[in-house]
Amino acid sequence: EVSNVEGRWCIKISSDQATVPGLLLRG
């Protein structure tokens, strides 16, 4: 699930119940 939080896109991993900021995934 992808959601926008305060202007940032985040990916929610339901399996780990964790929200990872999209900026970290850009490498």
pLDDT score, position 6: 65
If one counts the domains in the chain, the total is 1
Whole-angstrom distance, CA of residue 6 vs CA of residue 19: 14
pTM of the complete model: 0.20
Range of the domain at 24: 1-27
Low-confidence ranges of the chain (pLDDT < 50): 27
pLDDT score, position 5: 66
pLDDT score, position 27: 46
Whole-angstrom distance, CA of residue 17 vs CA of residue 21: 13
